[in-house]
């Protein structure tokens, strides 16, 4: 069952990409006490993710902060080194990368997808959410193959 608005972020271990290397973080601790714009992509360097999804949050970072967002986070079922390289190539220091290498976070959210038919394995769905002190206050899950409701622009309209 997928997470819903009003529910707490489930506990999972993610890996934060930092200049000093990968750092494990517990989701409950990471999202506590602040308002986070979280978006998930099926994979770093994939076409829609690189051309639209990550750039929307990079371009709208200041506007999101002006609406009360404390941190912008991208997660994907990729290892932290891939997410770090992707952020260096296409991202910004305005976006924190959290690797969900084994897909445990996506699975705990109930937002995993099976991309094995395309040679992608099991990944996280494309979505965005606002997490306020560990509680999901907005949730935007894309239909397969879509990119609309998980964009930074859509999130700005919700804030």
Just list the catalytic residues.
49
Whose CA is closest to 94, among 125, 127, 63? 63
Report the distance separating Cα 105 and Cα 118, nearest Å.
22
Residue 88: which residues within 8 A CB-CB, separation 6 or more? none
Q: Where are the alpha helices (DSSP H) in 91-150?
A: 104-109
How many other CB atoms sit within 10 Å of the CB of residue 87?
A: 20
Report the distance separating Cα 3 and Cα 52, nearest Å.
25
Cα separations in angstroms, 137 against 47, 80, 94, 134, 158 = 29, 27, 21, 9, 10
């Amino acid at each position: 069952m997928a997470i819903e608005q009003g529910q707490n972020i489930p506990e999972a271990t993610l890996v934060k990409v930092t200049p000093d290397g990968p750092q494990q973080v517990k989701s409950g601790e990471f999202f506590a006490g602040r308002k986070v714009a979280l978006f998930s992509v099926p994979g770093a360097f994939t076409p829609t993710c690189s051309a639209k999804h990550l750039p929307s949050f990079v371009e709208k970072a200041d506007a999101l902060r002006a609406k009360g967002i404390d941190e912008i986070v991208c997660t994907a079922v990729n290892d932290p080194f891939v997410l770090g390289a992707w952020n260096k190539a296409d991202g910004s220091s305005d976006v924190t990368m959290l690797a969900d290498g084994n897909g445990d976070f996506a699975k705990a959210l109930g937002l995993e997808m099976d991309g094995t038919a395309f040679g992608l394995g099991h990944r996280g769905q494309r979505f965005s959410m606002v997490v306020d002190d560990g509680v999901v206050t907005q949730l935007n899950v894309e239909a397969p193959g879509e990119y609309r409701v998980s964009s930074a622009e859509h999130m700005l309209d919700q804030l």
